Structure 1
Amino acid sequence: MRDYLFPPLILPLFLLLIVVPLFLVLFIFTGTTVFQVVFGVDGQTAMTIFFFILVGSFINIPVYEKEGVVYETRYRIFGLMYAVRRKQKMVIAVNLGGCVFPSILAVKAMMDLFRHLPPDAWLIVFLLSTAIIYSFARPVPSVGIVVPMLVPPLSAAFFGFLVLILFGKPLILLPKLAFSTGVLSALFGADILHLKDLDKIGSGVVSIGGAGTFDGIFLTGIFAVVFSVLFI
């Protein structure tokens, strides 16, 4: 049977023209559907929001600079060892599409929730999710702060489900609760509370939400809503 199975002759071209567009279409469809569910907007408005996030993912806004790590290069010349040290600065920035826009949307969802849910209920979900994300997040040199992808959205959806049951609120609020707490807990638990660990990453530009639409902050909100539907 193995003799009759073979990959496309031009595998990279196949991936570029078939697989990547399919994943992109699926991702856009999921993202716009989430915006429709959470904010009650129509398809055109949801697509506009997604477009602004996509464009914003290319824009990093510098916030402040700090001294980075010291690099030492050693040279051996005529039997003598010379060491050249240079210090590189670290620029802390926020990504417009991966951090700023999702955070604004999360705050909007949070304010909408307060008309139906006590603020302390929202705060419980946020604090629990932030604690879980913070415990899993780790600084990786030359990469950034990393956290297992499914931990933030699952935490927001699960704790949101428990809190709604505890407070006797309808589960129809869960997608909005999961999105708002998921985005903001990922921002605080993985990024803001780990700013003290930036020296372990290295130098250069460290952007919060720097991977744009595919960053953990934005994806946490998207997948938190997807997982929340499973609890309803």
Structure 2
Amino acid sequence: MLFLPLSILLFLLFILLLPLLFFLLQMKLVGHALVKMGISPAVATLIFFLSIIGSLINIPLLSGNQNIAINVGGAIIPLLLCIYLFPKVPILKTIIAVMISALIMNKMAQPIPMVGVTIPMFIPPLVAVLLGFIFSPRNPTPVAYIAGVLGVLIGADLMNLSQVTGAGMMS
């Protein structure tokens, strides 16, 4: 079977543009979720890009044998969004969802020397979505977001802080 050179060029173009497609799809999904939480599309796009850029920035909190830092895109921006969303959710149910999420994340998290705390990638979003639907079936998105963010930060990171040694940097 013969392939035209144009077909090969189109295939190479597709392969080169595939990361852009995944990026745009991710941006659309994140933007849609943020809009469902009452955030305008322009602000949702800004939050998305600030999170990506902020993921490159670690703010040192403690230094010594082990440096402890907080990541702008992975912790500060999500925490600010949680603060924004908190008045819009059923508070007691959300606190319970966060506590359950934190306990699950703590049990699933594994402190690994020279790496830090790891957790299977699909566990936090699955737990967050489930808790969102359980505790706020009419509007699960903000509860799921808060439970997911705070559950990971509290359960995986803070509760395992003393167990991570030799990582050089914990963020």
TM-score, normalised by the number of residues in structure 1: 0.65
Superimposed CA distance per residue, residues 154-178 of structure 1 (whole angstroms, 9 cap, x where no aligned partner): 21221232234xxxxxx23211110
State the alpha-carbon separation in 1 of the partners of residues 84 and 40 from structure 2: 17
Residue 186 (structure 1) aligns with: 152
> Does the 8 Å CA contact 2:35/2:44 hold for their aligned counterparts?
yes
Residue 32 (structure 1) aligns with: 31
Counting strand residues as a fraction of each chain, which structure ranks higher? 1
Residue correspondence of structure 1 range 112-191 to structure 2 within 5 A: 112-113=88-89, 117=90, 119-164=91-136, 171-191=137-157
Superimposed CA distance per residue, residues 55-80 of structure 1 (whole angstroms, 9 cap, x where no aligned partner): 2122110000232xxxxxxxxxxxxx
> Does the 8 Å CA contact 1:106/1:181 hold for their aligned counterparts?
no
Say which SS state the counterpart of residue 52 (structure 1) adopts.
Answer: helix
> Does the 8 Å CA contact 2:94/2:143 hold for their aligned counterparts?
yes
State the alpha-carbon separation in 2 of the partners of residues 206 and 142 from structure 1: 9
Residue 99 (structure 1) aligns with: 75
Aligned-pair CA distance for 1:13 = 7.7
Q: Decide which structure has the larger Cα Rg and report it.
A: 1
Letter aligned with residue 95 of structure 1: N
> Does the 8 Å CA contact 2:132/2:142 hold for their aligned counterparts?
no
Aligned-pair CA distance for 1:44 = 1.5
> Does the 8 Å CA contact 2:62/2:68 hold for their aligned counterparts?
yes
State the alpha-carbon separation in 2 of the partners of residues 157 and 31 from structure 1: 14
Residue 204 (structure 1) aligns with: 168
Aligned-pair CA distance for 1:134 = 0.6
Residue 22 (structure 1) aligns with: 21
Change (3 A) 1:121 1:203: closer
Say which SS state the counterpart of residue 66 (structure 1) adopts.
Answer: coil
Match of 1:111 among 66, 71, 87: 87
Letter aligned with residue 96 of structure 1: V
> Does the 8 Å CA contact 2:78/2:149 hold for their aligned counterparts?
yes
State the alpha-carbon separation in 2 of the partners of residues 179 and 65 from structure 1: 30
Say which SS state the counterpart of residue 148 (structure 2) adopts.
Answer: helix
Percent identity reads 32
TM-score, normalised by the number of residues in structure 2: 0.86
State the alpha-carbon separation in 2 of the partners of residues 203 and 189 from structure 1: 18
Q: Count residues in correspondence.
A: 166
The alignment yields a C-alpha RMSD, in angstroms, of 2.3
Change (3 A) 1:203 1:140: closer
Letter aligned with residue 77 of structure 2: F
Counting helix residues as a fraction of each chain, which structure ranks higher? 2
State the alpha-carbon separation in 2 of the partners of residues 145 and 180 from structure 1: 20
Change (3 A) 1:66 1:42: same
State the alpha-carbon separation in 2 of the partners of residues 27 and 184 from structure 1: 22
The answer for unaligned runs of 5 or more in structure 1 is 68-89, 165-170, 208-232
